[in-house]
Amino acid sequence: MPLNSAQTRRPTLYDVATQAGVSPSLVSLFLKDPGRISEKRREAVQKAITQLGYRPSRAATTLASSRTKSIGLVIDDYRNPWFVDLLRGMESVLSDLGYQVTLADSRPGANRIKEATDGLLAMHVEALVLAAEPSEPMLAGTWVPTVVAGWRNGVPAGADLITNDDDRGGMMAADHLLALGHSHIGHLSGSDGASFHRRAGYQSTLEAAGVEVVIGESEGTSEEDGYGSACWLLDHHPGTTAIFAANDTMALGAFAAIKARGLSVPNEVSVIGYDNSPLAKSRFLDLTSIDNRSDVVGVDAARRLLARIDDPTLEPERKLIEPTLVLRGTTSAVR
């Protein structure tokens, strides 16, 4: 392929061989073990690859090796940024070993998680990380090593569970607000497994302190869910001085509900989120949040999957990661 010709298709191994003036088998050998060919030919092949913009076919490599080096990650909603740290933690372990993480978004809806998972399995992923609520058909178990990341309402048979200690995190949030003098603390919650545990920690702490438990519950945990729940909370409990949201996205909805009622954060209503997502870290929001250490969950999930791939006989395990409180500008002493 002449260098000055218009490239109308993806360059192939044969194009590289022609450009470099070598055989296709030598180019294949270069891709597998460049040290086995002479420096002169190695330089010629590398130059041709660079000039043509050639990229080896991952599919062809997979067929040749019977290994995909691919890990499937199912999340519940791209709109919730909590998974960013989870993915970064996974890739910090997997990338250097040549593994690729393939994302699938299940979004709420009948059988969506099964469809997302089946799609990944059809791509022959070697293992799965489920960061979403498993569907009923999945609870019977999966046939590849599987880790559930975060508390869920169910865990497939044979799967590992690696999660933040959400009960402890809910307690931390409540303790923080109580220490600031708040005694009218509302909680925005969802119906998923993580929300259940965060709510349980909040509730047990307030009950132990003799403070009324007020919960605005919704089906989901989106910004819109947070807004609706916060509106209900502020309208039915106008004396509320602090809100603990089940995640940072719901906290964003709470900000809108507070503003719509002419109130300000934190002067009149303190707000604390959960996940310590990129949203919470933004200078504009400066949101106090419970860090669920998703990056650590991701690291441990990746390491566990690699161990299960190497030894499929390993028994599943459950591991809790200790959360931390990250103080920012949205919580203050009651006024």
pLDDT at 4: 42
Answer with the residue of higher pLDDT: 258 or 8. 258
Whether the CB-CB separation of 16 and 31 falls below 8 Å is answered with no
pLDDT at 152 over 80: yes
List, for residues 230-282, the tens digit of each pLDDT value: 999 999 999 999 999 999 999 999 999 999 999 999 999 999 999 999 999 99
User: Are the beta carbons of 222 and 80 closer than 8 angstroms?
Assistant: yes
pTM of the predicted protein model:
0.76
Q: What is the pLDDT of residue 228?
A: 97
Residue-level pLDDT at 319: 95
Sheet holding 127-131, edge to edge: 100-105, 70-75, 127-131, 146-149, 160-164, 318-321
pLDDT band at 110 (very low <50, low <70, confident <90, very high): very low
pLDDT at 63: 47
Q: What is the mean pLDDT of residues 280-300?
A: 95
SS in 3 state form for the chain?
CCCCCCCCCCCCHHHHHHHHCCCHHHHHHHHHCHHHCCHHHHHHHHHHHHHHCCCCCHHHHHHHHCCCCEEEEEECCCCCCCHHHHHHHHHHHHHHHCCEEEEEECCCCCCHHHHHHHHHHHCCCCEEEEECCCCHHHHHCCCCCEEEECCCCCCCCCCEEEEECHHHHHHHHHHHHHHCCCCCEEEEECCCHHHHHHHHHHHHHHHHCCCCCEEEECCCCCHHHHHHHHHHHHHHCCCCCEEEECCHHHHHHHHHHHHHCCCCCCCCCEEEEECCCHHHHCCCCCCEEEECCHHHHHHHHHHHHHHHHHCCCCCCCEEEECCEEECCCCCCCCC
| Local confidence band at 58 (pLDDT 50, 70, 90 cut-offs) | low
Range of 13-27, 78-92, 171-185, 310-324 with top mean pLDDT: 171-185
Q: What are the structural domains, with CATH classification, of the chain?
A: 13-56 (no CATH), 69-164+294-321 (3.40.50.2300), 166-293 (3.40.50.2300)
Which of 111, 113, 125 is closest to 75 using CA atoms? Answer: 113
**Sheet of 242-245: strands edge to edge?**
214-217, 185-189, 242-245, 270-274, 288-291, 324-326
Binned at pLDDT 50, 70 and 90, residue 108 comes out as low
Cβ–Cβ under 8 Å, residues 19 and 44: no
- Residue 104, token pair as written in the block: 């699938």
